């Protein structure tokens, strides 16, 4: 038997005897013979742990090791060693969804802490227990707005949200039957407020989705937008990266009804795409329209404070096809990860992270501009830690050339444009080296 299966031949014989069977084949006597798989599976032979390590090390050698200046929602941040130590505890790692509160207080309690911290970050009072990622969180927010309005199926989204978010919104909208309309960008790379106001004034929108920091890295200004939306009974949905909300005006402060987005920026490893974390927060009025799990505080027999899954009448296992969403549990352990991260960092730590990224972005964008090979695409617009550059060199070639020098230059946004992010993880020397490589480009070679 394989090492994960403890049954000896004697164990198997004892169990078969209790079942009145001679062989394990009888366990499948109800499976039509034609459906039984015959012969060998086309899989390699079983590996020992050492061979498995070698296998993955060999694969990993074929991934580039790069200093990361790419962002687009996912950032290379520092995370204290204690975070991983806590998250690795198998009492957290190997538990199921906390259906039995008597023996799941650990999970329930950190979800409660997580909800509190996300509420604090977004300035909205209600958070659920987590979402898959920012794109699906935004899609759920879109569906929430149509469900809340009951009669309206149209939602407007600014063209300035990230491409991936836009793609996922369109997918969910198409299949769920949401009439998703895009609002153009101005020449300055921000939501066209005039076009958006016109749409809102129609009184037909269930919701409006706008990005706090948009796909160009620009911090958008939503002055007056919430009032416009609410006058027409339209919900305002602000998509924002969680970490940025430590310093930027919060969705709550903008008067938004729903905040949603990615929370990978709260120290989660990049891990080539996941697991990450999405979040969704909302006003009290929308509490019963929230997707996913919510944990609440209560008391037990002895009067001590305890935590339970609550407001479950919203959920799929009760409501089935009338549920507000099909999501069950999501990224529970990643919620723990960011909760421990935020505990260690505190408000000051998150602010330092934001300032380091902002200062680094200012330094790098100047250094890159000084090469004469790049210029800011929107030089007058406020940014946090990410900015878009127009490149003389084709962006794909620039990225390839930088990669051979150990630098991930950013994300190509067009043939001659690139989105660049800076965090506390890149040094001044890294940035100088990046500018040096950029400067080496000559249009003649």
Partner 1 sequence: MNRQLYNKLIFELSHKGRKGYELPKSGVESADLNDIPSSLLRKEPLHLPEVDEPTVVRHYTNMSTNNFGVDTGFYPLGSCTMKYNPKINDEIATAHAPADLHPSVPASMAQGALEAYWTLQKQLCEIAGMAEFTLNPFAGAHGELTGLMVIRAAHDAAGDTERDIVIVPDSAHGTNPASAAVAGLKVVEVKSMPDGTVDVEALSELVDKHGPKIAAMMMTNPNTLGIFESRIPEIAEMVHGAGGLMYYDGANLNPLVGVARPGDMGFDVMHINLHKTFSTPHGGGGPGSGPVGVRAGLEKFLPSPRVVRRDNGTYNIESPETALGSISATLGNYAVQLRALSYILSLGREGVKEVGPMATLPANYIKESLRDVYELPVDRVCKHEFVFDGLKDKSTGCTTLNVAKRLLDFGFHAPTIYFPLLFHESLMIEPTETESLETIDEFVKVMREIAREAAEEPDLLKNAPLVTPVRHPDDTKAALDPKITYFEL
Compute the C-alpha angle 421/424/425, nearest 5°: 85
Burial of 92 (0-12, 13-18, 19+ CB in 10 A): middle
Alpha-carbon distance 280 to 297, whole Å? 19
* Closer Cβ to partner 1, 105 or 371, answer by number: 105
Alpha-carbon distance 255 to 236, whole Å? 8
* DSSP letter (8 states) at residue 73: T
Selection from 368, 374, 352, 342 nearest residue 425 by Cα: 352
* Closer Cβ to partner 1, 28 or 194, answer by number: 28
Least distance from partner 1 to the Cβ atom of residue 139, Å:
9
List the interface residues with partner 1, window 128-167 (CB under 8 A). 129-130, 132-136, 143, 162, 164-165, 167
Selection from 238, 243, 216, 213 nearest residue 225 by Cα: 238
* Closer Cβ to partner 1, 205 or 383, answer by number: 383
Least distance from partner 1 to the Cβ atom of residue 182, Å:
15
Piece of 111-119, 191-199, 232-240, 369-377 that binds partner 1 (CB under 8 A): 111-119
Under rule CB under 8 A, how many of the chain's residues touch partner 1? 213
Least distance from partner 1 to the Cβ atom of residue 209, Å:
15
List the interface residues with partner 1, window 371-430 (CB under 8 A). 382, 384, 396, 399-400, 403, 408, 411, 424-429
Piece of 19-27, 148-156, 371-379, 437-445 that binds partner 1 (CB under 8 A): 19-27
Piece of 61-69, 202-210, 224-232, 368-376 that binds partner 1 (CB under 8 A): 61-69
* Closer Cβ to partner 1, 352 or 392, answer by number: 352
- The maximal CA–CA distance of the chain, rounded, in angstroms, is 83
Least distance from partner 1 to the Cβ atom of residue 236, Å:
16
Alpha-carbon distance 259 to 210, whole Å? 10
Residue 161: CA atoms inside 13 Å, Cβ hemisphere, count? Answer: 29
Does 175 help bind partner 1 (rule: CB under 8 A)? Answer: yes
Does 6 help bind partner 1 (rule: CB under 8 A)? Answer: yes
* Closer Cβ to partner 1, 205 or 408, answer by number: 408
Does 59 help bind partner 1 (rule: CB under 8 A)? Answer: yes
Alpha-carbon distance 434 to 407, whole Å? 7
Applying CB under 8 A, among 7, 231, 415, 440 the residue interacting with partner 1 is 7
Q: Is the Cα dihedral 405, 407, 413, 419 positive or negative?
A: negative
Cβ atoms of 138 and 239 within 8 Å: the answer is: yes
Does 181 help bind partner 1 (rule: CB under 8 A)? Answer: no
Cβ atoms of 357 and 349 within 8 Å: the answer is: no
* Closer Cβ to partner 1, 199 or 402, answer by number: 402
Applying CB under 8 A, among 191, 239, 250, 391 the residue interacting with partner 1 is 250
Applying CB under 8 A, among 177, 203, 224, 372 the residue interacting with partner 1 is 177
Burial of 204 (0-12, 13-18, 19+ CB in 10 A): middle
Neighbours of 369 (CB within 10 A): 16
Piece of 184-192, 198-206, 234-242, 307-315 that binds partner 1 (CB under 8 A): 307-315
Which string of x and - marks every residue 226-245 that binds partner 1 (by CB under 8 A)?
Answer: -------------------x
Least distance from partner 1 to the Cβ atom of residue 429, Å:
7
Applying CB under 8 A, among 153, 363, 369, 376 the residue interacting with partner 1 is 363
As a dihedral over the C-alpha atoms of residue 91, residue 96, residue 97, residue 98, rounded to 10 degrees, the angle is -50
Least distance from partner 1 to the Cβ atom of residue 374, Å:
18
Piece of 11-19, 182-190, 226-234, 371-379 that binds partner 1 (CB under 8 A): 11-19
For the record, the structure tokens of 30 come out as 């109800």
List the interface residues with partner 1, window 325-344 (CB under 8 A). 325-334, 336, 339-340, 342-344
Give the H or E element holding residue 281: strand 278-282
For the record, the structure tokens of 444 come out as 């003649």
* Closer Cβ to partner 1, 1 or 198, answer by number: 1
Least distance from partner 1 to the Cβ atom of residue 311, Å:
6
For the record, the structure tokens of 64 come out as 């580039």
Does 283 help bind partner 1 (rule: CB under 8 A)? Answer: no
* Ramachandran assignment for 204, one of left (phi > 0), alpha (psi -120 to 50 degrees), beta (any other): alpha
């Amino acid at each position: 038997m394989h090492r994960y299966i403890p049954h000896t031949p004697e164990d198997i014989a004892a169990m078969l005897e209790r079942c009145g069977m001679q062989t394990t084949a009888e366990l499948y006597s109800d499976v039509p013979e034609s459906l039984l798989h015959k012969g060998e599976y086309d899989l390699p032979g079983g590996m020992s742990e050492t061979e498995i390590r070698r296998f993955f090390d060999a694969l990993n050698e074929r991934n580039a090791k790069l200093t990361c200046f790419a962002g687009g929602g996912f950032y290379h941040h520092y995370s204290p060693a204690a975070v991983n130590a806590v998250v690795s505890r198998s009492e957290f790692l190997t538990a199921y969804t906390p259906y039995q509160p008597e023996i799941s207080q650990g999970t329930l309690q950190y979800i409660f802490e997580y909800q509190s911290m996300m509420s604090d970050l977004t300035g909205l009072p209600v958070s659920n227990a987590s979402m898959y990622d920012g794109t699906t969180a935004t899609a759920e927010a879109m569906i929430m707005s149509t469900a809340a309005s009951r009669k309206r199926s149209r939602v407007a989204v600014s063209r300035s949200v990230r491409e991936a978010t836009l793609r996922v919104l369109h997918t969910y909208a198409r299949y769920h039957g949401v009439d998703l309309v895009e609002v153009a960008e101005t020449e300055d790379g921000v939501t066209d407020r005039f076009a958006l106001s016109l749409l809102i004034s129609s009184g037909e929108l269930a919701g409006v989705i706008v990005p706090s920091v948009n796909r160009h890295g620009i911090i958008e200004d939503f002055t007056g937008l919430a009032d416009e939306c609410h006058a027409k009974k339209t919900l305002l949905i602000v998509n924002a990266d969680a970490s940025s909300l430590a310093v930027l005006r919060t969705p709550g402060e903008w008067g938004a009804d729903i905040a949603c987005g990615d929370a990978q920026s709260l120290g989660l490893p990049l891990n080539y795409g996941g697991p990450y974390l999405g979040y969704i927060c909302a006003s009290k009025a929308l509490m019963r329209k929230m997707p996913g799990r919510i944990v609440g505080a209560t008391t037990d027999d002895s009067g001590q404070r305890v935590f339970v899954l609550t407001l479950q009448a919203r959920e799929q296992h009760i409501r089935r096809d009338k549920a507000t969403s099909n999501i069950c549990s999501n990224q529970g352990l990643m919620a723990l990860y960011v909760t421990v991260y935020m505990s260690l960092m505190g408000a000051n730590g998150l602010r330092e992270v934001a300032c380091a990224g902002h200062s680094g972005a200012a330094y790098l964008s100047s250094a890159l501009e000084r090469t004469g090979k790049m210029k800011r695409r929107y030089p007058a617009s406020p940014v946090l830690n990410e900015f878009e550059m127009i490149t003389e060199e084709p962006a794909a070639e620039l990225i390839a050339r930088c990669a051979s020098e150990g630098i991930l230059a950013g994300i190509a946004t067009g043939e001659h444009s690139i989105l660049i992010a800076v965090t506390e993880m890149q040094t001044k020397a890294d940035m100088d080296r990046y500018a040096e490589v950029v400067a080496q480009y000559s249009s003649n070679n």
